[in-house]
Structure 1
Amino acid sequence: MTTTDSTRVSSWRLLLRNPVTAVSALVLLAVAVIAVSANVIAPQGVNDVDVPNALRPPSGGHWFGTDELGRDVLSRVLVATQASMRIAVVSVAFAVVVGVTVGVLAGYRGGWLDTVLMRVVDVMFAFPVLLLALAVVAILGPGVTTTILAIGIVYTPIFARVARASTLGVRTEPYVAVSRAMGTPDLMILRRHILPNIAGPLIVQTSLSLAFAILSEAALSFLGLGIQPPQPSLGRMIFDSQGFVTMAWWMAVFPGAAIVVIVLAFNLLGDGLRDVLDPKQRTIAEARRAQR
């Protein structure tokens, strides 16, 4: 086994030995399965109206109860989770591609290009996250595509800064200088040396950004600017439950619990990945394990 393989195995062992991280990974695995098969495993149609059975509490026929129109809350939570995950993954993927490209170019090239790109990033950072997302949606109109674009734009500067900071540290390494001296093209240097060595912080940031993307989508949908009815959304379900909190608590509790569980799992997984991928945090984690 090579040194790289041994390090990789050690990283996985350190990650899985943390019970909180392992449980978080299992929860996210279950969420991923739900996101892929929600339409299949949902016990009823998300828009099947059954007014005589409206506002029924959780029971054997409706595990999460029914809403004001008699629709099955469990089915709607499952499909809404699928929609939230799809929006979060696509929007964060957009932010990763654009943000990392901007950050790597700025950090690797430096000079006037770095100044111009990072000043644009600083301007975007000057706006609160939700306010900037609201501005984008207000200009382009509500909808799934607009929500994805808005969240992607909001989180692009974060990845740009992380990528730039990591690139500034890697570009001064001796192996990068040797590659330049040998006349290796810049694209090859970026692909072989820069990107692999800045992947750790980006993976951690991706996990954290997915959590905040879920929250952002729920907030936009709660305000009526995200996913539009009749498609279910966790944020919209909480909004619709406001007038029934005292008589039908399940309408708000279960969608809210879904948001909390997913966001918490992503955050805890991000903390676990940081302990493994960050050399300083990994040393501390390994020292703690050795003391037990």
Structure 2
Amino acid sequence: MTEPRDEIVADEHGAGVAPTDEAARMTPFRLLASNPLTVVSALVLAVVVLLAIAAPWVAPYGINAVDVANALQPPSASHWFGTDDLGRDVFSRVIVAARVSLQVAVVSVTFALLVGVLIGVVSGYVGGLLDVVLMRVVDVMFAFPVLLLALAIVAILQPGMATTMLAIGIVYTPIFARVARASTLSVRHEPYVQVSRTMGTPTTTILRTHVLPNISGPLIVQTSLSLAFAILSEAALSFLGLGIQPPAPSWGGMLFSAQGFLGQAWWMSVFPGVAIFVTVLAFNLLGDGLRDVLDPKQRTLIESRSRR
């Protein structure tokens, strides 16, 4: 009998080297931490979330405190982001709008995640006629552009925060349904699932213990990416006047108010636009990092680089 040997990995010069214990023990968290872009995006999102939570206490002025005498003031020590056409502090409105945008994004994506996963898992696991019917409904929803479908839903209902959450949640539900169904189809034929079905294990138990844990990776990545697009969708709806209604601040609504002052008050549009850009980019980079760690192929490549 031969003694077990460590896996040999070729280094950059072609020589065989054994992986270090540190590389062999790399956890998903350490793999995420090894990606600088992922770390930076997570820190940026942490700052945005903290500002959003603490906005009522951090904001130096009231979000609707009108001061016509100081209207259209450029950024200064007293007003870091300047003032708008009504003399309201732009910085205060930007950080409070972050709270509104994140709330809309989290609630709408959570709705889409729960409903979409339920549809996708049931469709993929049960199959047959039910799968055909559910996927045809999903295909019909996919036939409409996301923003156009959201506009139609908001137009039927009354514009407002609740309607915006519902509209964004509905239009992103088919995406989660597709991801959940594709992942479920690859899992339901695994031997451990077949054995559980043969032993008479209840379907709900199989889905809870075998299917859902094994499809969580793609769903986590899709959740991060959908949060970014939900923020963009909310900003677009608010810019068109069908999302968050004044006087409540929102990044899209602030951009709409600033379009008439682009030449004389650049700060009214720049700071809300930068907030949208940075937040969406951070969510996208975090999603890329999560995909690299949760995708077995990508993770193998990262671990190989770490060993070298």
Q: TM-score, normalized by length of structure 1? A: 0.96
Give, in whole Å, the separation in 2 of the partners of 1:226 and 1:145.
Answer: 9
The superposition leaves residues 49-92 of structure 1 with CA deviations (integer Å, 9 ceiling, x where unpaired) of 00010000101000000000000000000011100000000000
The aligned counterpart of 2:7 is none
Give, in whole Å, the separation in 1 of the partners of 2:271 and 2:25.
Answer: 38
Q: RMSD between aligned alpha carbons?
A: 1.3
The correspondence of residues 222-241 of structure 1 with structure 2, limited to 5 A, is 222-241=239-258
The aligned counterpart of 1:25 is 42
Q: 1:148 to 1:64 in 2, by over 3 A?
A: same
User: 2:272 aligned to 255, 258, 281, which one?
Assistant: 255
Report how many aligned residue pairs link the two structures.
Answer: 286
Give, in whole Å, the separation in 2 of the partners of 1:191 and 1:57.
Answer: 56
The sequence identity of aligned pairs, in percent, is 72
Aligned residue type for 1:120: V
The aligned counterpart of 1:61 is 78
- Unaligned 5+ runs, structure 1: 1-5
Report the CA distance between 1:288 and its aligned residue: 3.1
Give, in whole Å, the separation in 2 of the partners of 1:184 and 1:257.
Answer: 52
Report whether the alignment pairs 1:141 with 2:129.
no
Report the CA distance between 1:31 and its aligned residue: 1.3
Report whether the alignment pairs 1:165 with 2:178.
no
Report whether the alignment pairs 1:198 with 2:215.
yes
Report whether the alignment pairs 1:95 with 2:85.
no
Give, in whole Å, the separation in 2 of the partners of 1:94 and 1:7.
Answer: 38
Q: TM-score, normalized by length of structure 2? A: 0.91
Report the CA distance between 1:8 and its aligned residue: 9.2
Larger radius of gyration: 2
The superposition leaves residues 9-54 of structure 1 with CA deviations (integer Å, 9 ceiling, x where unpaired) of 6111110110100010111111111221211111110000000100
The aligned counterpart of 1:123 is 140
Task: Please say which of residues 212-221 and 234-243 is displaced more in the overlay.
Answer: 234-243
Q: 1:8 to 1:197 in 2, by over 3 A?
A: farther
Aligned residue type for 1:65: G
The aligned counterpart of 2:225 is 208
Aligned residue type for 1:194: V
Task: Please say which of residues 137-146 and 6-15 is displaced more in the overlay.
Answer: 6-15
